[in-house]
Chains A and B, each alone.
Chain A
């Protein structure tokens, strides 16, 4: 869909005829599109400098044994040059297959996958449930909506701390459970409960976004479809399966993709909930990579960057598979 103005200037009658040479074609393409290239230049430059260059540099680091002891650094007035050396793919080999690779990488990898699947599932089902409730005509709908988006409105780094107080030993949640004569788990100390708490807090933070997006999707479904379905004798469950869910397809495919990416990359919640050093088993790959690079002494820059590259590869593979799957089912919103 080209702009009419542009195509009017582009399709000059004299432009037909013999196919011009590559250089001439390049020049003609430049003449025709230089406006566009000038307009995208700022972003291309920014991305090249702020994303492209660090990405290449980071990839090079993964092929070295860089850490905080052999990197370039300045102590006082003395500048010390970098002394790390090229070691090829040893970092990747070590991470994926080296001794204790299971404890260092694969256990976190499995937990990251479980964490992502569980959180997105919870976000989606709870978000959809609340959106369906909010989509009904009733009194107080706006008030409920405003209250329910509160976890989204308050910055995450604030709410995670309030969860930390709630979940602390003999904090409010355990006091409440004690009053109800229920067991009081050590939320922030046992591995299982750490993971449970992380999923719970992330679910709490992520539901409002899903709810609001899905509510928008629900409101865009034509009501006459429901009337027609009702006329045909469809009950509420059938209307949900055959009208609501298909109507939400494009919104769902977008928010699920976003949800997976965000949850997989979720740094703030786990980092702030457990602090810099505790809960090694509840760390997902992102926070674990950060810990390798910045949370220990000496800082292992090379392995941390290698984790980053592996993470990005996993996400890229997932995204392209997801897009291919969507294309086959023709459900893409973006």
Chain B
């Protein structure tokens, strides 16, 4: 039953054009009238403009060589240059920031996935006393506001002399990333058929052997999504990084970008160029993996 006769009066989309078409029209299901199609496109174009304009504006501003060019955007087109990029690459700590960001983000992703994988498997396959409370804790820790942990963490890390180290930041990020990864991977392991485990056990593998040799290789896409999410979370983390990192050399991008704009001076042109340099690779990577993200997201919650 792929086609249905729709009387013009029954469909509001068609009723708009009903005046012109008094005869009964036969339309395929899912095809809409030209008017409704135009409206749909118009709305989507409008929304796309709203979604892209701020980003496009930043790229445009990054080409204006003077820090007050944002006040006279019309002038940028005639004197567009890449001088901001040259300045940022040569005279700021951007290379150090890149290194810090990569250390923190990759470290978080690695630790997050390594610690969470077995737990994801255990809560997906086994029922044991304490299963439900564990699931609750995993969920609840994702709802923790940063304000709860930041003060005691700061105290603890100052006592340990870990303030202004990458290790502290990786550990802090892990407090949110590890439970999230466990939750995400549980969702992924749920999609791997149980029969594979059973076959492994029948062939004499221990539960660990089954996990390492059979399930882990199959779950590689799930691990990749979890790792990517941990990476993005650590990459975009602002509060802890702004508080725990003191040395200009050790800033991550999220902190470094703030240094261009202070109360006294705002170097919007350099800020824009740095922002573009940061955003381009991350955004490109996001688009490459976004198809997988959507399936992963509905499996569990994530921290924004």
**Contact surface of A with B, Cβ cutoff 8 Å:** 1-6, 29, 33, 35-40, 42-44, 46-47, 50-51, 53-55, 57-58, 61, 71-74, 129-130, 133-134, 136-138, 140, 144, 146-159, 161-166, 168, 170-172, 175, 204, 206-209, 212-213, 216, 227, 230-231, 233, 235-237, 251, 254, 257-258, 261-262, 264-268, 271-272, 275, 277-278, 285-286, 289-290, 293-294, 301, 304-305, 307-309, 311-312, 315-316, 319, 333-334
Contacts and interface: CB of A to CB of B under 8 A. Distances in A.
B257 A158 contact: yes
B236 interface: yes
Interface of B: 1, 4, 6, 10-13, 29-32, 37, 40-41, 43-44, 47-48, 50-52, 54-55, 57-58, 61, 70-71, 73, 114-116, 118-119, 121-123, 125-129, 134, 137-156, 158-159, 161, 171-172, 174-175, 178-179, 182, 194, 197-198, 201-202, 206-208, 211, 232, 235-236, 238-239, 242-243, 253-254, 257-258, 261, 263, 268, 271-272, 275, 278-279, 282-283, 286-287, 290, 294-295, 297-298, 300-304
Given A35-B207, A175-B73, A294-B243, 10 more contacts: A2-B126, A4-B194, A40-B118, A50-B172, A50-B178, A54-B156, A162-B55, A264-B145, A308-B150, A316-B143
Given A46-B115, A144-B48, A305-B151, A3 B126 contact: yes
B254 to A, nearest CB: 5
B54 A39 contact: no
Given A3-B125, A155-B236, A277 B178 contact: no
Contact of B287 (A37, A153, A266): A153
Residue in A54, A140, A233 whose Cβ sees the most chain B Cβ within 10 Å: A54
Interface of B is mostly: helix
A290 B175 CA distance: 18
A319 B43 contact: no
A267 B57 CA distance: 24
A47 B73 contact: no
B13 A133 contact: no
Nearest to B262: A275
A91 B139 CA distance: 29
Task: Sort A-B residue pairs by CB-CB distance and give the 7 closest, nearest first.
Answer: A58-B152, A308-B148, A39-B122, A308-B147, A289-B147, A162-B58, A50-B175
Contacts of B207: 35, 39
A61 B152 contact: yes
B298 A213 contact: yes
B149 A55 contact: yes
B4 A42 contact: no
